[in-house]
């Protein structure tokens, strides 16, 4: 005995979920991590929650500069410029790079997907 099944199949493709926004991070050992990022979070919070080099002693209050990161040139052009208070805190560090930033001062937006940075050496 055979049973015929009449199943209608929709020929249109099912849209896939868009990929999560990605933040590329090189840690202090040279290992590159691709992290899913959350809209509205500070880069510092994303790094902290993944356990990648952030203790965040001051919680983003511009008191410690432990979240010192270095953006690649393309990424530096994609984020808002640093404010004066961030620049003042960066000036206190013994070692700066061309695109040094404090991760607590950059708020993630999904348009930043693909942003690349590396953690500055501990100071």
pLDDT in tens, 10-54: 444 444 345 778 999 999 999 999 999 999 999 999 999 999 987
- Asked if 113 contacts 22 with a C-beta cutoff of 8 angstroms, the reply is yes
Question: Residue 123 has what pLDDT?
Answer: 55
pLDDT band at residue 115 using 50, 70 and 90 as cut-offs: very high
56/69 Cα distance (integer angstroms):
13
Question: Residue 53 has what pLDDT?
Answer: 81
Q: Which residues contact 110 (CB under 8 A, 6 or more apart)?
A: 21, 37, 39
Question: Residue 3 has what pLDDT?
Answer: 53
pLDDT in tens, 64-114: 889 999 999 999 999 999 999 999 999 999 999 999 999 999 999 999 999
52/67 Cα distance (integer angstroms):
10
55/47 Cα distance (integer angstroms):
9
Question: Residue 20 has what pLDDT?
Answer: 77
More confident residue, 32 or 5: 32
């Amino acid at each position: 005995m055979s049973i015929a099944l009449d199943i209608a199949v929709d020929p249109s493709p099912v849209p896939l979920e868009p990929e999560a926004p990605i933040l590329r991070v090189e840690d202090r050992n040279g290992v590159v991590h691709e992290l899913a990022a959350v809209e509205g979070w500070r880069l510092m919070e994303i790094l902290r929650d993944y356990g990648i080099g952030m203790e965040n002693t001051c919680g983003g209050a511009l008191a410690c500069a432990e979240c010192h990161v270095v953006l690649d040139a393309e990424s530096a052009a994609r984020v808002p410029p640093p404010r004066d208070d961030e620049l003042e805190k960066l000036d206190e560090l013994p070692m700066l790079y061309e695109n040094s930033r404090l991760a607590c001062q950059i708020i993630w937006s999904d348009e930043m997907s693909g942003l690349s940075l590396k953690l500055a050496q501990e100071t």
